[in-house]
A = this chain, B = another copy of it.
Amino acid sequence: MAKQEFLSHSEENYLKVIFQLAGQERLKVSTNALADKLCAKPSSITDMLKKLSDKKLISYKKYQGCGLTVKGEVIAIQIIRKHRLWETFLVSKLSFGWEEVHDVAEQLEHIQSIKLIDKLDEFLDFPKFDPHGDPIPDRAGNITYRKSKIKLAEAAINAVVEVVSVDEDSPSLLKYLDEIGLRLGSRIKVFERIPFDSSLKIEIVGVQKMYISEKVADNIGVRFIEKL
């Protein structure tokens, strides 16, 4: 077994954010992008990138951005696993709203105990997705991404789609979606894209017809079901 290196909360957060910003295509992540996401100055980012590079957790060449090494990615995925399992716990067992769990999970994801997280996984019955529809990595680090996911903003007119994920970062968006009756699993009929502002005329099946802004639609992940 690889030596258990203990990383600080800060180091763990950097790895997690690098993983997320790199995306599935594993793009290089820029210093400024990290500074934005981590709410720190670029100079602070540079400091940490040097440290993570020394520890072989990222590849980093001056001015060229950074990317996770295998070692770094393994750790990043475990942190994401913890984050999403904790979010699932909060929603399914403690009846938190989906807009309330992210901040608490940001703390809980740093608890060090492999046994805890595996037991939690079992207690939750090995959930595949978190409350926002994001995939939960298994204990080996495998992530099964939904293959045919698109943004609602990009859905074809006259399609019926199913909501499979929502962007979790903004509690106010999540509360709004709650209020209009849009949740994971909701069916949505896409009627019309208004040319002026690209807002969408939709029906949340079984709930209501309404307009939603492009910005909202851009934060909702859906999969195609059928033509109207």
| Chain A interface residues (CB < 8 Å from chain B) | 90, 93-96, 100, 103-104, 107-108, 111-113, 115-116, 119-120, 123
Contact = CB atoms under 8 A, between A and B. Distances in A.
Contacts of A115: 96, 100
12 contacts: A90-B116, A93-B123, A94-B116, A94-B120, A100-B115, A103-B113, A104-B111, A104-B113, A104-B116, A107-B112, A107-B113, A108-B111
Contacts of A112: 107
Give the number of copies in the complex. Answer: 2
A96 B119 contact: yes
A50 to B, nearest CB: 25
Contacts of A96: 115, 119
Nearest to A119: B94
A111 B90 CA distance: 13
Contacts of A100: 115
Nearest to A104: B113
A115 B95 CA distance: 11
A111 B107 contact: yes
Contacts of A95: 119
A113 B112 CA distance: 19
A35 B211 CA distance: 63
Contacts of A119: 90, 94-96
Ordered nearest first, which 5 A-B pairs have the shortest CB separation? A94-B119, A104-B113, A107-B111, A104-B116, A94-B123
A62 to B, nearest CB: 34
A9 to B, nearest CB: 10
A55 to B, nearest CB: 22
Contacts of A108: 111
A96 B113 CA distance: 12
